Structure formats: structure tokens, C-alpha cells
Amino acid sequence: MYETTYHRPASIDEAAAMFAQGADAKYLAGGHTLIPVMKQRLAAPSDVIDLGKIKDLIGIEATADALIIKAATTYYDITQSTAAKQAIPAIVHLTSVLGDPAVRYRGTIGGSLANNDPAADYPAAVLALGATVMTNKRLIPADEFFKGLFTTALEDNEIITAVSFPIPAKAAYSKMRHPASRFALTGVFVAKSKAGEVRVAATGASQEGVMRVPAIEAALKANWSAAALDCIKISPDGLMADIHGSSEYRANLIKVMAQRAVTEAG
């Protein structure tokens, strides 16, 4: 059994200082990725720094223009938030179909985004809504945050502190769930801003992780309806193919899930 030192800092600055002092430190949010990896001996951090009890990383706020969810806020708290339900109901729906109750009680939005699993749900919401990822060092626009499979723009010792979601005119999320893991075989988040911009993001489909879908965006900008996508064909090039579905299957799911989401958004 290898040794690791567990830390529970009380502030963001204290967490960053602990990380800098560790030989091979790792941040812990909800723990659904780091803990299993450690159990499998695929990671042996010298220090585990738990961000879950830092008060400045927990909470949900809504303004006239944005919904701000702090990074260590659990999925369960998001589903129970009146502010989130009123500001962006699609965010609450996405969270309610994420994982299972055990995952929702412990998982956090910041942990999900930092890990950037190619089948995670929240990256689709962040990208489709054009959100801003806030860290202890800077603000990162959604289009610049996701860099590929399990890769983000985060630097060493950079901590996600919150995510600011612009409040859309319309938005919805639909996904085909893996029956065991509840990850998205393919999930699609559609959003229409108050200024009329349309953004569509798919998760669980691309080999590179979350992606925008320009063909669907253009069709919906011209005609916001499920019928507008009837003639759209998504190329399977670059999409995942595994025991759960071929790239052609996922290409079709992108279209179908987008149509369902548009119908839900109204």
C-alpha cells in the first residue's frame, strides 16, 4: 500500500499553497474519478487536497443575466436550487439525469469540468450556453476551455472556482444513457440566446470529447424546430465506435437527441 497525505484546506489560497508544496499533489472534488483511479493503482499522489469544504467554492447565485454555480457545489444541491430552476431549467434537468443518487450527492460541477470525460454531461451545457469557467487565476471562455480527451486549458495548480452560465431564451438537454454507468452514449444540449445566437454541443459522441455541431446550429438558427433537422446528416468521421455503438449510430443519435431537445425547449 502506498502512502498519501490527505489535506482539507479552509480556503482557495491555502489549497493552492498545499498543492505547490506537494511532490505530486492532486485536487479532490467529488472523488468519483480520483478515488477509483487510486484504488486501481493507476495514480499514487503524494498529497490529496480536498476542495469540498471550502466555503468560497460552494453556492449558487442568479442575476438578471447569468446563473453562477460555484465549483464544489454538488449535483444534488443544483437539483434542489430554486435559483437554478428559475434561471436555467435545462441545467437542473441535465443534473437530474446525471449518474445515480450516489453520484449526485457527492459529485461536483468543478470536478466534472476539470476531468473532462468525453461522455460527461456538464461539458455539453458549458459549451452550448457559452459559459465562462472562472478559476483562481483567470476567466476562461467555454470555446477555449476544452482541449480534447480528458484535457482542458487548466494549468498546474489552477483551481476552478465557479462557472457563469448566460441565461438563454431557450435551452434543453437530451441524452441516450448507458444503462449501467448513466454516462451519455450521446447527449445534446441546445441553446438559443436572448440575442438569437444558437449553439449546440454534443457529448459522448466524439473521440475528442465534447463538440459543437455547426450543421445543426445553422439549421436551428434559420428555423428553431425539430422538423428543421429532418434532412440534416451528421458525418460519422471522428466519432466514437465501441461495443455500445458504431460511429454511424452516434452520428444518428446526435440528430435525434438534438430534435428531442429542441422539442423540449419549445
Per-residue pLDDT of the chain (266 residues; tens, 9 = 90+): 578 999 999 999 999 999 999 989 999 998 878 888 788 888 889 999 999 999 999 999 999 999 999 999 999 999 999 999 999 999 999 999 998 898 899 999 999 999 999 999 999 999 999 999 999 999 999 999 999 999 999 998 999 999 999 999 999 999 999 887 778 999 999 999 999 999 999 999 999 999 999 999 999 999 999 999 999 999 999 999 999 999 999 999 999 999 999 999 99
Domains, the chain: 5-50 (3.30.43.10), 57-166 (3.30.465.10), 170-265 (3.30.390.50)
Please answer whether residues 172 and 264 qualify as being in contact, where contact means their C-beta atoms are separated by less than 8 angstroms.
yes
Whole-prediction pTM: 0.95
**Of 232, 124, 218, 139, residue with least CA distance to 171:** 124
Which uninterrupted H or E stretch holds 136?
none
Q: Which residues contact 181 (CB under 8 A, 6 or more apart)?
A: 99
Half-sphere exposure (CA, 13 Å, Cβ side) for 216? 33
Yes or no: say if 236 and 248 are a contact pair by the CB < 8 Å rule.
yes
Say if CB 160 and CB 114 are below 8 A apart: yes
Cβ partners under 8 Å of residue 185, min gap 6: 119, 175, 176, 177, 178, 204, 244, 245, 250, 253
**Burial class (CB within 10 angstroms; exposed 0-12, middle 13-18, buried 19+) of 59:** middle
Q: What is the CA radius of gyration of the chain?
A: 18
Neighbours of 105 (CB within 10 A): 13
